[in-house]
Structure 1
Amino acid sequence: MTHVQERAQSSNAAVNAIAGKDGAGSEFLAFTLGQEEYGIDILKVQEIRGYDAVTRIANAPEFVKGVVNLRGIIVPIADMRIKFNLGTPVYDQFTVVIILNISGRVMGMVVDSVSDVTTLTPEQIKPAPEMGAAFNTDYLIGLGTLEERMLILIDIDKLMSSAEMGLIEKLAT
């Protein structure tokens, strides 16, 4: 099996798992990074907060803004604009931190803004296109289409459990 076939099979499995076999659809939290709109599984979201100052960690990757103390839990904060190389981030009144609970690990991700919760049926989710080696699509579930909107659906479990994100957890302890 070629890499493209493996990727397509993996993407289809992710679409089916997220969208649900019963056809009822799944809910995604829609947020923006730069000019694009993204979506993550709402069940992974613990809370949404305004962006506050973070405590920087020495020798952390650039996309790791630092850590915050959230009701006694040290939570690492990653800036997705830096992670996805979307230009210089600007922190303003719309900037938010999405607190995620991924396999029992609490972490936060900084995004430009959060718009709404969108329900997508399996028919509205298309597999992510193969972009070649220049663009890593491993963290994408697919593209969600809703009228004129298109959400880039992120497999937040896969993204947050990647090797470099594992560094965040080590830094926070």
Structure 2
Amino acid sequence: MSESQGLPAIGAELVTVAIGGQQFAIDIMVVREIRGWTASTPLPHAPSYVLGMINLRGAVLPVVDLGSRLGLSAATRSSSSVVIVAHIDGRQVGLLVDEVCDIVVLAENMLQPAPQVGSSQAEEFVQGVITTDAGIVTLLTLGGVLPRVAEAA
């Protein structure tokens, strides 16, 4: 695996989150803040995984149900649910997850390539897998989380 693929380096910190009982990791460098869940205002004709938008100190922020976007069950909206405010491809977005679990420091030999399953969608979201004493954590790449913005003609 090469640095050109955007893989985190040894010693990088990752935020681990739970979605539907599974553990996922997000590079801490894209995380701007972690907020408790608040209801969002629906956005007409948005994809089903876009829950709506929230006001973040005067800025309108789209909120994506990360579980739904990954093809898993939708995140549970409860008192432990959180919105991770992330900076992805020059845009800020809120990512709804069931809970934040831990911060993991990437050590040598922890990160392994994701299994090849013949799905371009899996490859679009999964950078690799991390083995820990608690099990396998899927390292996400977030570039495909937001819907593509149509270019102005």
User: TM-score scaled to structure 2, two decimals?
Assistant: 0.87
The amino acid of 2:144's aligned partner reads L
Does residue 1:19 correspond to 2:8, yes or no?
yes
CA distance in 1, matches of 2:148, 2:90: 14
The equivalent residue for 2:106 is 120
CA distance in 2, matches of 1:141, 1:106: 21
What is the total number of aligned residue pairs between the two structures?
Answer: 151
Cα deviation, 1:113-151, whole Å, max 9, x if unaligned, reads 101110012411000010123862222110011223321
User: TM-score scaled to structure 1, two decimals?
Assistant: 0.78
Q: 1:15, 1:125 within 8 Å by CA — same for their partners in 2? A: no
CA distance in 2, matches of 1:82, 1:104: 22
The equivalent residue for 1:166 is 148
Max Rg structure: 1
Q: CA deviation at 1:17?
A: 4.2
The percentage of counterpart residues that share the same residue type is: 28
Runs of 4+ in 1 over 6 A off after TM superposition: none
RMSD: 2.3
The equivalent residue for 1:105 is 91
Greater fraction of residues in helix: 1
Change (3 A) 1:93 1:47: same
The gaps in structure 1 that reach 5 residues or longer are: 1-11
CA distance in 2, matches of 1:159, 1:58: 21
Change (3 A) 1:51 1:37: same
Q: CA deviation at 1:35?
A: 1.8
The gaps in structure 2 that reach 5 residues or longer are: none
Larger deviation: 143-152 or 49-58? 143-152
Change (3 A) 1:103 1:83: closer
Change (3 A) 1:146 1:44: same
